[in-house]
Structure 1
Amino acid sequence: MSLESQLRKRLLPRAGSGSAAAAAPPTRPGSGGFRPDIEGLRAVAVALVVLYHARLPGLTGGYVGVDVFFVISGFLITSHLSAELTRTGRVAFGRFYARRMRRILPASFVVLAATVVAAVVVMPPLRVPSMVKDAIATALYFPNVRFARQGTDYLAGDTPSPLQHYWSLGVEEQFYLLWPLLLVIVTLLVRRSQRRLVAALGLIVAGSFALNLVVMQFSTVWAFFLLPTRAWELGVGGLVALAIPWLRRRRVSRAPILGVVGLALVIGSAIAFDDTTTFPGFAAAVPVIGCALALAGGTQNDGIAGRMLRTAPFQSLGRLSYSVYLWHWPLLILVESRLAGPLPLAGSLALAVLALPLAALTYRYVEDPVRHLPLLTAAPAARTLLAGLAGSLVIVILAMGLGRWSAGQPLATATPAPSTGLTAPPAFTPVVPTNMRPSLRGVAADQPIAYADRCQLESTASALRDCPYGDVTSDRVVALFGDSHATQWLPALDSLGKAQGFRVQLYAKSGCPSAEVAQTRAEDDNCVTYRRLALAAIEADPPELVILSNAGQQFWADSSTAAAQWRAGLAATLEALPPSSAQLIIGTTPSFAVGAPTCLSIHLADAGVCGAARDLVVDPERLDDEQSIAAAHGAGYFPAVDYLCTTDRCETIEGDILLYRDEHHLTTVASVDLADELDALLFSGATS
């Protein structure tokens, strides 16, 4: 019999098969029934995630709760599939996926629909189009791919989506689609040898883990969100499931110490890790191994870990864990979106608690009833599959319809503003004018061309790119060196270069200042490497002028010595530049807590709400340091803040110009408008 025919026989439901198997809960190899310790582990996992998102002090690595969920899912799914293969010699793939859909989709769709409706009502209008795309991707089971393509930083996003937590469901759904087929194929290839099956799957798990480590070198975002780099975590759970009979025969699973050590690893990583931990990478192995040990040691009631996980509070929270996970994140994000800022700890904890009754209602009236609905469980699997597709279609239509409605709402007042350009001191506009440049709807596309050219390097990149702008054929060269705050000045310099006949050579990498300062992010080494390469390139072919521009201090390792680090680092970079090159420092620009377009879209008639006191958004010590260091090294200095702020206030609109495209980057319009002021210092004001 060919492999194809064997697969068909094992994957297609048998004629006349009943629905009891479809409705039965998953069992584990060599045993049956419910494992309360797993319910307790779910409680631990969801508590870690929710409290982390609520910013509870001391739980800086609570995101590892998602990894615990992955291991548990892999364990339970493999337990069920292995038991079915042992019992019937086949896997009814359709019935399996129908069970998964009844388990996952009802609550998921309810929360998804509620979030979409609420988001259109309470979120800033500018964020609705992106949220609609998130909802469509979620309804079609690939939210993780969308967030990866967006380059979303799940651990430190400035404006996260209220649907961002669905990424983990995307990983699990994709795993459920592929794992049964893989398990059957490998089982056939190893001729039903349990030992060889475990060995073969172990190689696959190891391959996924190795891929995770490789991808981490290029993109932490892709490694974080995608199934190929996360499958090993679910696969570890599967390996534990297959090993349970062997462990039980040798009484290994009876050792109480396994559960204690496992929980210690999980909770310890939640406390020890933080947003700067290289993750997933090697670090993810700690909570994964911890959960695996807890699962392996949880088949008996003895031991302190087992007794704790079986207590009523853990069981109750574990039972609601899925719905709690679904509800908590949109509650936090939608409220913070409306308030245009982070909640205090008490507020975020209150919303986390609010997720509990919502989860209880969802479990009572949606999650549990639909899972056991006779209309679906007593029918062929195709009915559940069609119901799932119909639910996805409803969500897509709902999201698109509400998105279209939102797009029709006005995003400016009827009042025009004079086109005065940027001046020092600035003359601010108190409302969103009808002629604002760029418009609120157009600001999302308002980025320097370097982004489209991939010349604004990602934080994980380290290799130099040849990125000429201005008059690219000119022998007169101006080097623009820094992070994304250097790139915000590229539109001005590009226009000047084309008009005056000089080439602008861009050396810019996100989150990597040209000043030699310490950082805390995982991409530290990449920044050090890139900075050295950029300095070497500038030294090898000295430009006529080197311009330095950098963002604030958010990446510095020790905030108590940040100012001293900045002074020393900026001075070190200036001293490393070729002595024949003139030098110019462009001063720091304001950094707001909330992006200007987002805030203005809520306050069309009161733009002043989106401004701030100058000392809150611009560090005066930083300004003084930049000017004094520039003077000490014979460099020019452009005080950009004088054109963006008065002596006591920084606003977001000047004349008809929107100044910022997000929290702290200038729009291209603002950059170009300041070209003439910058031009006065390019060669005459900068000295070697």
Structure 2
Amino acid sequence: MRGRVDHLDGIRALAILAVLGAHWVATYLPVGKGGYLGVDVFFVLSGFVITSVMWRSRSSEPVGRQYVTFLRKRVRRLYPALLALVVVSPIAVALAPGAAVTATDAAERGLLAAVQGTWVLEAMGETTDPFRQTWSLAIEWYLYLLWPLALYTARRRGVPARTFARWSALTAVVLYAAALPMSGLLFYGTPPARFAEILVGAVIALAVAEPATPDRPGRIPTGRGPQALALLALAAVTAYVVLAPWHYTADPVRWLGVPLAVAATGWLVLHGVAETGGPALRLLSWGPLALLGRASYSLYLWHWLPVYLLDKDSIGLPVPVLALLGVGLAAGLTTASYLLLERPFMGSHAAALRPGRESPAPTERV
């Protein structure tokens, strides 16, 4: 698609494939449990994209107006597909044989998803099915209420991007350290550690926002070494997703899984800023993978409903048949959602995601 950055879409594709590994594959096979790492990848990438667009858009409007404009664009971009999920899911529950939740319960939980509240119940260990996947969207929305105000204020006051990056990095470290003593469920499903991940992406965006100068060269390494490191990052995340044996609330997640996902994603993003070629970027920019990444938001929203309703213990069909039905339904719902409810509201922000360029705020769709 014109105006997209293919390697970033490729990273999105890897993230959603990891999530599918955890929610689909690990349901039937003893592999893919590490796929929960995909959410961490999404958070880092989201911080980079959102911060790049906000910082590099040049607007003379007051901070409050810029903030309201940002939130309006976020709602316009994300809510059509989310509200469709909220409406369709209770109907699907009512029609599905042997559903574990009533249509009324599904409708109530859908309203909670619509106001970005599912993360609270999930963090308390309560189910929000069939909307359990929306918890991560809610975490992002809470940051949207804080981060743009801080960023627009800093930019209006003339704070250099790299100075703001240092303060953001310090904040990320403090938040992550504060999250480490938490229980596995709270660490995974509440804002502190997740905000830290998003801020890592934001730090990368700020660090490359200003062009290099003789006294601050800020050159990102290029060549065979960094290309090999990018391949290693891809391989390490893939190996973790496929082979990690522990539940997402286990201690190794905070000490190994999250740092691995954040470091690998951060390097792949930074590598794509500096390089225009190399095997890792060619793979991430591969057409089918990039296309999957473009539809990753819709796929993330819709992938859980068919799997949840086509439960192998409630429906007397062979597991392979249920799997094919689930994949087929998810593919159809995702395609319709992307084409009808996402794509019409997607704008080009490719210029904002490349160093040394500015993007015009009035026409930007975040």
TM-score in terms of structure 2 length: 0.81
1:61 aligned to which of 34, 39, 49: 34
Structure-to-structure mapping, 1:378-389, within 5 angstroms: none
Identity of aligned residues (%): 28
1:80 aligned to which of 34, 53, 61: 53
In the TM superposition, residue 242 of structure 1 has moved relative to its aligned partner by: 1.3
Q: Is the 8 A contact 1:61 1:272 kept in 2?
A: yes
In the TM superposition, residue 354 of structure 1 has moved relative to its aligned partner by: 3.4
Q: Is the 8 A contact 1:123 1:338 kept in 2?
A: no
Q: Report the secondary structure of 2:272's partner residue.
A: coil
Q: Is the 8 A contact 1:331 1:351 kept in 2?
A: yes
Do residues 286 (structure 1) and 260 (structure 2) align?
yes
Q: Is the 8 A contact 1:102 1:371 kept in 2?
A: no
Structure-to-structure mapping, 1:96-245, within 5 angstroms: 96-122=70-96, 124=98, 127-128=101-102, 130-149=105-124, 151-152=125-126, 161-186=129-154, 192-215=159-182, 219-245=183-209
Q: Is the 8 A contact 1:257 1:297 kept in 2?
A: no
Distance 1:259 1:246, change over 3 A: farther
In the TM superposition, residue 205 of structure 1 has moved relative to its aligned partner by: 0.5
Q: Is the 8 A contact 1:212 1:280 kept in 2?
A: no
> How far apart in 1 are the matches of 2:219 and 2:40?
28
Q: Which protein shows a greater Rg?
A: 1
Amino acid at match of 1:272: L
In the TM superposition, residue 307 of structure 1 has moved relative to its aligned partner by: 0.3
> How far apart in 1 are the matches of 2:197 and 2:94?
35
In the TM superposition, residue 252 of structure 1 has moved relative to its aligned partner by: 2.2
Q: Is the 8 A contact 2:98 2:314 kept in 1?
A: no
Structure-to-structure mapping, 1:499-510, within 5 angstroms: none
In the TM superposition, residue 65 of structure 1 has moved relative to its aligned partner by: 0.9
Distance 1:280 1:183, change over 3 A: farther
> How far apart in 2 are the matches of 1:160 and 1:365?
26
In the TM superposition, residue 73 of structure 1 has moved relative to its aligned partner by: 0.7
Give the structure 1 partner of residue 338 of structure 2: 363
In the TM superposition, residue 225 of structure 1 has moved relative to its aligned partner by: 1.4
> How far apart in 2 are the matches of 1:235 and 1:256?
25
Distance 1:186 1:245, change over 3 A: closer
Do residues 316 (structure 1) and 291 (structure 2) align?
yes
TM-score in terms of structure 1 length: 0.45
- What are the superposed Cα offsets for residues 197-254 of structure 1, whole Å, 9 maximum, x if unpaired? 1111111101111122022xxx322222112231111111111111225797514266
Structure-to-structure mapping, 1:416-435, within 5 angstroms: none
Amino acid at match of 1:76: V
User: Using CA pairs below 8 Å that are at least 6 residues apart, which structure has the higher relative contact order?
Assistant: 2
Distance 1:349 1:220, change over 3 A: farther
Amino acid at match of 1:263: L
In the TM superposition, residue 337 of structure 1 has moved relative to its aligned partner by: 7.7
Q: Report the secondary structure of 1:202's partner residue.
A: helix
Do residues 43 (structure 1) and 13 (structure 2) align?
yes
> How far apart in 2 are the matches of 1:55 and 1:209?
30
Structure-to-structure mapping, 1:574-613, within 5 angstroms: none
Give the structure 1 partner of residue 244 of structure 2: 273
Structure-to-structure mapping, 1:324-343, within 5 angstroms: 324-336=299-311, 339=314
Do residues 307 (structure 1) and 282 (structure 2) align?
yes
- What are the superposed Cα offsets for residues 596-627 of structure 1, whole Å, 9 maximum, x if unpaired? xxxxxxxxxxxxxxxxxxxxxxxxxxxxxxxx
Distance 1:182 1:273, change over 3 A: farther
In the TM superposition, residue 342 of structure 1 has moved relative to its aligned partner by: 10
> How far apart in 2 are the matches of 1:180 and 1:342?
49
In the TM superposition, residue 131 of structure 1 has moved relative to its aligned partner by: 3.0
Distance 1:125 1:245, change over 3 A: closer
Q: Report the secondary structure of 1:348's partner residue.
A: helix
Range 44-53 or range 331-340, more displaced: 331-340
In the TM superposition, residue 346 of structure 1 has moved relative to its aligned partner by: 5.7
Q: Is the 8 A contact 1:60 1:271 kept in 2?
A: yes
Q: Is the 8 A contact 1:186 1:200 kept in 2?
A: no
Q: Is the 8 A contact 1:253 1:298 kept in 2?
A: no
> How far apart in 2 are the matches of 1:341 and 1:134?
27
In the TM superposition, residue 268 of structure 1 has moved relative to its aligned partner by: 2.4
Amino acid at match of 2:81: A
Q: Which has the higher helix share?
A: 2
In the TM superposition, residue 114 of structure 1 has moved relative to its aligned partner by: 0.7
Range 248-257 or range 269-278, more displaced: 248-257
Q: Is the 8 A contact 1:223 1:229 kept in 2?
A: yes
- In structure 2, runs of 5+ residues without a counterpart are 213-217, 348-361
Give the structure 1 partner of residue 227 of structure 2: 256
> How far apart in 2 are the matches of 1:354 and 1:291?
30
Amino acid at match of 1:363: Y
Q: Is the 8 A contact 1:48 1:59 kept in 2?
A: yes
Distance 1:183 1:253, change over 3 A: farther
Distance 1:221 1:131, change over 3 A: farther
Distance 1:311 1:103, change over 3 A: same
Amino acid at match of 2:89: T
Over aligned residue pairs, what C-alpha RMSD do you find? 3.0
Q: Is the 8 A contact 1:59 1:270 kept in 2?
A: yes
Amino acid at match of 1:210: A
Amino acid at match of 1:107: A
Q: Is the 8 A contact 2:19 2:36 kept in 1?
A: yes
Distance 1:279 1:117, change over 3 A: farther
Distance 1:253 1:188, change over 3 A: farther
> How far apart in 2 are the matches of 1:240 and 1:263?
18
Amino acid at match of 1:297: H
Q: Is the 8 A contact 1:67 1:287 kept in 2?
A: yes
Kindly tell me the number of residue pairs found equivalent between the two proteins.
332
In the TM superposition, residue 182 of structure 1 has moved relative to its aligned partner by: 2.4
Distance 1:335 1:263, change over 3 A: same
In the TM superposition, residue 88 of structure 1 has moved relative to its aligned partner by: 4.4
- What are the superposed Cα offsets for residues 26-74 of structure 1, whole Å, 9 maximum, x if unpaired? xxxxxxx532100111111111111321125432211111111111111
Amino acid at match of 1:264: A
In the TM superposition, residue 262 of structure 1 has moved relative to its aligned partner by: 2.5
- In structure 1, runs of 5+ residues without a counterpart are 1-24, 26-32, 153-158, 373-379, 381-688
